[in-house]
Amino acid sequence: MMLKDTTPEMELLHNKLWMSRTVDERAEFMFGMFALARRTIIESLPSGLSDREFKKQLYFRTYGEHLPDDFFKDEES
């Protein structure tokens, strides 16, 4: 069961207002939200991580799964 604190009327109004924006406006908003979330994640990571560990932790915190095992294969010699 999902808990909601928004009335159906307010949800309809919100959806109507959101859909009244252009596709470009909605996309710009969502890209901005993703960028803000990414900056927040980066700021929460420990300082001094190696480039490889930084990428691994950023990916995990963003997508909730580990990078594929072969992600760094081009860097290995």
pLDDT recorded at residue 27: 97
Other C-beta atoms lying within 10 Å of the C-beta of residue 58: 16
pLDDT digits (tens, 9 = 90+) for 2-55: 778 899 999 999 999 999 999 999 999 999 999 999 999 999 999 999 999 999
pLDDT at 74 over 80: yes
pLDDT recorded at residue 62: 95
Contact of 28 with 45, CB cutoff 8 Å: no
d(CA 39, CA 57): 13
pLDDT recorded at residue 4: 84
pLDDT confidence band for 77 (50 / 70 / 90): low
d(CA 2, CA 62): 23
